[in-house]
Amino acid sequence: MSGSGKQIPRRSAPRNDKIGDQHLTDVERLFTTYHQPLVRYLVRRLGDRDWAEEIAQETFVRALRQEQIVSERAWLFAVATNLVRDEARKDARRRRHLELLREQAKAEEAVEPEPTSLERAQEAAIARRALECLSERDREALLMREEGLDYNEIAAALELSVGSVGTTLARARRRLVEAVDEMQREREAQEKVGVRGNHAS
C-alpha cells in the first residue's frame, strides 16, 4: 500500500514565477512519456478527441506549475480526471445529448456505405453507452488500468485503498461486458423485427 495517494494534491499550487529550466525538462519528459496514454484515456472517457486534447494540455500546464510531483503517472491521471469531473458536472446533460445525436447521425449516415464503418460506429456507440452505465469510479479505474496504471497508481489517483482496486476493476469489467452483451441482444432483436417488417412491406 503506497501512501503516494496522499501526496497527490487535488489542486496544484501555482508557481508561475519559479519555472526553471530543469523543471521544464522534467515536464517535457512527462509529456513525451504520458501524453499519448493520457489522451487515449481521456478520449475513451469523453468520446471527443479535441476535448480530450484540451484536458490533457491543461493537465500538463498544471504539471508545469507544480513544484514537485510524486508518482507522476498517478498525479497526471488524477489531475486530468478531476478536470473532467469539474467540467462534466457543468454540462453533462448537454454533452450526453449531443453525443447521442452524433452517434445517431453516424449510424444513420451509413445506410449504404461500407458495412465495416457502420459496424464500427455501432460498436463504438454501444461501448460508449455501456461505459456510461458504470459508476464514475468504476469507469475511471477501468480506463486507467487499460492505460497501464498499476493498482497503487489507480488507488492514488482515485483515492481508493489499494485493496479495493481489484474489486472495483472486477465489478467494472463485469458490468461493462454484461451491458454490451445486453445491448447487442437488443440490437439483434430489433434487427430481426426490422427484417420482418421489410418482408411484410
- Which of 178, 149, 152, 147 minimizes the C-alpha distance to 163? 152
Does 15 contact another protein by CB under 8 A? no
- Shortest Å, Cβ 151 to another protein: 4
Does 1 contact another protein by CB under 8 A? no
Query: Torsion over CA of 132, 133, 137 and 140, rounded to 10 degrees?
Result: -40
Among 25, 33, 36, 104, binds another protein (CB under 8 A): 104
Stretch that binds another protein, among 15-23, 28-36, 70-78, 127-135 (CB under 8 A): 127-135
- Closest CB to another protein among residues 58, 72: 58
- Evaluate whether 141 touches 158 at the Cβ level (below 8 Å): yes
CA distance 168 to 93: 26
Query: Torsion over CA of 48, 54, 59 and 61, rounded to 10 degrees?
Result: 170
- Closest CB to another protein among residues 13, 22: 13
Q: What mask of x and - would describe binding to another protein in positions 31 to 70, judged by CB under 8 A?
A: ---------x--xx--xxxxx-xxx-xx--x---------
Does 17 contact another protein by CB under 8 A? no
Cα angle 106, 92, 149 (rounded to 5 degrees) comes to: 85
Does 72 contact another protein by CB under 8 A? no
Among 19, 167, 182, 196, binds another protein (CB under 8 A): 167
Q: Per the structure block, which three cell numbers stand in for 7? A: 501526496
Does 132 contact another protein by CB under 8 A? no
Among 2, 23, 70, 124, binds another protein (CB under 8 A): 124
142: enclosing H helix or E strand: helix 136-146
